[in-house]
A and B are shown apart, each in its own frame.
Chain A
Amino acid sequence: MISTENVSFHYTAGSNVLQNVNLQIKDGEFVAIMGENGAGKTTLVKMFNGLLKPTVGSVLVDGVNTREKSVAQLSRDVGLIFQNPDHQLFAETVREEVAFSLRNFGFKEDIIQGRITNVLTTLDLDRYEKSSPFVLSGGERKRVALAAVLAWDPKHVVMDEPTIGQDYLQKDHLRNFIVQITSQGKTVVIVTHDVEFVAECKPRVVLLSHGKIIADGPAAEILTNPQTLQQASLVMPQIASLMKNLKDFNPPPNIIDAFSAKAFFSGKLKGRVAAGAPTQRR
């Protein structure tokens, strides 16, 4: 479990980037931390692996205060994947790039080679094994960065803005991938402001604004509340807006994705056909 107790943080005294943040993320949960640029989302997740220590309050990872462990020790359990893969790629081959992390954590060489092969296969990168990471496309480089972190199998995986610059298919793969690792019991935390992506994944959503948590709950609840969304500079997912416009038709509350919406409207329309309304069917 990752928990923050009354955490406040400032770089310079007088301007708090985070204020009184109380958050608990259980093992295996899938959480999206959302909010406007500058709300403090990245600052918050940097506390999960000890890169930043709170000015006030404590962060506990699996029961241990982050002040008592080094970043390397904490990273063994909390894998943080940064937004821009170019900030970490440096090796001559993709294989070496993934090996770097494993060597840092002290894995034995024969185990390292095996793990690299596994993770590259999982992420569909095996054909690039001997390529230089620098010649790969943007999306492929993002996957290499992901592989480099997953290779050491951290219990908790934190991704900072994983959907920026990705096209629809890439986001689809990412979504499926997250489903896969959460089913394996990993905790997944994503920092994002992509409401449509979150509407499709339906994680727990924590909204940050100006360093404070202003909402915390299931995606379907949070993404349908216009006031809190407005405060966090987010927009309502299209389906949620649609359902609001048609609330006089009594849809079930908090529908935010196209499939659930279709189920509802399909039912209603079929009902009307059955009642003799002149809706044509092919």
Chain B
Amino acid sequence: MDSPIHRLDPRSKFILTIGFFVSALMFTNIIALLVIFFAQVPGIVLAKSPRRWLRSLRGGLFLFIFIFVMNVIFGTPIVTALAFAIRFLAIMSAFSFFFMTTSADDLGLALEQIHVPYSISFTFTTAVRLVPTMAVDAQTVVDAQRSRGLELDKGNFMKRIRNYIPILIPLIISAIRRSVELAEALESRAFGASEKRTAIVTLKMRIADYLVIVATIIGLGLAVYVYLRVPLPNLVIPIQIPRLF
């Protein structure tokens, strides 16, 4: 996937995401939160990912409803409850936007460059690299055991749990064997040889990245100003939900 947003440095994108996060936390007013939420849309459009974004929102739908309903049950006015739910969605969407537009590769590089210890950023990159491989392994194990008559969809609850033992054990053992092979290969490429690791690819902040950071600072400043100085209309829906508690 390629777009101006995808090409941005992960560090500037993360600052932008934190900007949205902090602004969302500041407000409980529904108008402000709606503004913050919809402010992400131009970015989504620029990233050419409207459909993926909507799909990720659908994933948050359950929690959205849960937050709304729980608040109402405990006596929060409807509009405020809605605001809380929208705040959750705004934060989730901001982080989702970050991960959608940042490749695991760039993320790993960014971690290295902000001086996260190499063992941690390497663990992260390796984990990501192994996800497709382990997914194939998992499917193969399921296939192999089903071919021996294992039926995963039959039996009572306890039986079904026990049926996963023949799936988990080979998976874990395969993962361990794979790790040993990887470790051997790592050693053979002098892993850990030098304290000062070099990197042939480095991320460079470009003008667009600095603009994004400046925009984030301005946006945050605006948010703080509105929070402190601008009285926002308080919408009220005059429906009284009988207090259950």
Contact = CB atoms under 8 A, between A and B. Distances in A.
B150 A104 contact: yes
A197 interface: no
Interface stretch (A86-94, A170-178, A247-255): A86-94
A51 interface: yes
B137 interface: yes
Contacts of B143: 46, 51, 82
B1 interface: no
A89 B149 contact: no
Residue among A70, A71, A79, A100 with the highest chain B CB neighbour number at 10 A: A71
Contact of B140 (A76, A84, A89): A84
B145 interface: yes
A101 interface: yes
Interface of A: 46, 49, 51, 70-72, 75-76, 79-80, 82, 84, 86-90, 100-101, 104-105, 134, 148-149, 152
Nearest to B145: A88
B148 A51 contact: no
Contacts of B170: 86-90
Contacts of A134: 173
A71 B147 contact: yes
B141 A87 contact: yes
B146 A51 contact: yes
B174 to A, nearest CB: 5
Interface residues of B, number: 19
B150 A51 contact: no
Contact of A82 (B144, B151, B166): B144
B151 A49 contact: no
B149 A87 contact: no
Contacts of B237: none
10 contacts: A51-B147, A79-B147, A82-B140, A88-B144, A88-B166, A90-B166, A101-B149, A134-B173, A148-B148, A149-B147
Given A46-B143, A87-B140, A89-B170, A149 B177 contact: no
B161 interface: no
Given A87-B141, A100-B166, A75 B147 contact: yes
Interface in B105-164: 137, 140-141, 143-151
A101 B148 contact: yes
Interface of B: 137, 140-141, 143-151, 165-166, 169-170, 173-174, 177
Contacts of B145: 88
Contacts of B169: 90
B134 to A, nearest CB: 12
Contacts of A79: 147
Contacts of B144: 80, 82, 87-88
Nearest to B147: A80
Contacts of A148: 148
Contact of B148 (A46, A70, A149): A149
A154 to B, nearest CB: 10
Given A87-B137, A89-B173, 13 more contacts: A71-B146, A72-B149, A72-B150, A75-B147, A75-B149, A82-B140, A82-B147, A86-B170, A88-B145, A100-B148, A100-B166, A104-B148, A148-B148
Given A86-B174, A87-B137, A88-B141, A72 B166 contact: no
Contact of B146 (A75, A76, A149, A152): A75
Contacts of A46: 143
A75 B148 contact: yes
B147 A49 contact: yes
A72 B174 contact: no
Residue among A72, A87, A149 with the highest chain B CB neighbour number at 10 A: A87
Contacts of A87: 137, 140-141, 144, 170, 174
A80 to B, nearest CB: 4
B148 A88 contact: yes
B114 to A, nearest CB: 37
A95 to B, nearest CB: 15
Contacts of A51: 143, 146-147
A72 B150 CA distance: 7
Nearest to B137: A87
B173 A86 contact: yes
Nearest to A104: B149
Nearest to A101: B148
Nearest to A82: B144
Contacts of A149: 147-148
A72 B173 CA distance: 24
B237 to A, nearest CB: 46
A65 B149 CA distance: 18
Contacts of B177: 86
